[in-house]
Amino acid sequence: MTAPPIRARWIEMLERVVTPPLSALAQGRLKATMPIESKSTVQDREPYTHLEALGRSLAGLAPWLELEPVPAVEASRQAQLRGMARQAIENAVDPGSPDQLNFDRGSQPVVDAAFLAQALLRAPRQLWHHLNGDAQKRLIAAWRSSRVIQPGFNNWLLFSATIEAALWRFAGDADFMRIDYAVRQINEWYKGDGLYGDGPEFHWDYYNSFVIHPMLLEVLETIGARGAADATFLPAVRTRALRYAALLERLVAPDGSYPGTGRSLAYRCGAFHHLAFMALRHELPGGVVPAQVRGVLDAVIRRTLGAPGTFDEQGWLRVGLCGHQPSVGEPYISTGSLYLCSTAFLPLGLSAEDPFWSDPAVPSTSERLWGGIDMPADHALGPS
């Protein structure tokens, strides 16, 4: 089994992104070495930014860590990152570590405890079952400690639900009221055509992709496997997820750019978390094939992470969408926040022989339309 060149390039870029935070945390030196760039003061973001870097890095890296087998050229690098990721988690919850992280002070930790939970749901074998017993107990306790945080009345409800889903999966118990409330409330905020409101109002941003669609699916599927009643929402949620994936694929221009609208643009290619997630699941909408999504994601990754100024001299991400653009970051954005870009790389969890990697290139919808190729009209999703 050999690795296609584009796959090798993705692995190289993903390693470049996640190695600084994971390596530092695995050595117990994350707080000592990670810069904190933010519009807010360092004191405002320091309690949260390190857990952000861990949870968000692993949320995108996890499927590749879980994959077996991989091409020989990937095996040693994968093994190194598996060990690094597990040691990073162990240090994050070790009360004797200088890098023990905050799961329960302030409001932000519920967000990144959830991204960490999402990572373990995506790589249960490598990130949970190979974790040492003490670390498992401490991680369960850390997730439970985050229950003191009241989530915002918006996409944050899914962070609490994702933590409970992980507790159900790995500890066998959960607060199902938090899950049920989140699922039902998000469902009430559905606006149509594959889009949910982030709270009662609609925001034209990428939170349907950053958080809502992927977490809603993963929560429902995790608890559904145990026979929970909320799984009755799944058919409609999956239909909407397919439509939103189709919309994301259409948003990318031939040069890899996309509309710079809404909050959190500094998450860069993480704006296509959901499209990458659906490709990983082999659940793409009709008329969209895996090689087409490969090209779209590759263009976005290169446009957002390949721009000069994206990384500082020590290899840490800097605030921006295309290069270093500090003004793009909201006050809640800091260095750790930026690692949500890792989620664009989810298809690395597919075998190197999967059609996503092995099929010949297929032009994107945007390339075909703006290349003058005749195509069927797009249609909105009906009631679901």
- Per-residue pLDDT of 70-96, as tens digits, reads 999 999 999 999 999 999 999 999 999
Pairing of strands 195-196, 190-192: antiparallel
58 falls within a domain: yes
Task: Indicate the SS3 state at residue 327.
Answer: helix
pLDDT value, residue 383: 81
**Four-residue CA torsion sign, 26, 31, 32, 35:** positive
How many whole angstroms separate alpha carbon 100 and alpha carbon 356?
Answer: 38
The tokens of 272 are what?
């296509």
The tokens of 151 are what?
């989530």
How many whole angstroms separate alpha carbon 203 and alpha carbon 332?
Answer: 17
176 falls within a domain: yes
- 122 Rama class: left (phi>0) / alpha (psi -120 to 50) / beta: alpha
381 falls within a domain: no
Low-confidence ranges of the chain (pLDDT < 50): none
* Residue pair 74/23 in contact by the 8 Å Cβ criterion: no
378 falls within a domain: no
Strand partners, 317: 311
Task: Say if pTM beats, i.e. exceeds, 0.95.
Answer: yes
How many whole angstroms separate alpha carbon 358 and alpha carbon 19?
Answer: 27
47 falls within a domain: yes
135 falls within a domain: yes
* Residue pair 161/187 in contact by the 8 Å Cβ criterion: no
Q: Which amino acid is at 360?
A: P
Q: Which amino acid is at 262?
A: G
pLDDT value, residue 177: 93
382 falls within a domain: no
- 95 Rama class: left (phi>0) / alpha (psi -120 to 50) / beta: alpha
327 falls within a domain: yes
The position carrying tokens 């969408």 is 321
Task: Indicate the SS3 state at residue 2.
Answer: coil
User: Can you give the residue range of the structural domain that contains 136?
Assistant: 5-370
Residue-wise DSSP of 64-130: HHH--S--HHHHHHHHHHHHHHHHHHHHHT-TTSTTPPPSSSSSTHHHHHHHHHHHHHH-IIIIIIT
- Count of structural domains within the chain: 1
CATH number for position 81:
1.50.10.20
Burial 104-143 (b: 16+ CB within 10 A, else e): eeeebbbbbbbbbbbbbbbbbebbbeebeeebbebbbebb
pLDDT value, residue 232: 80
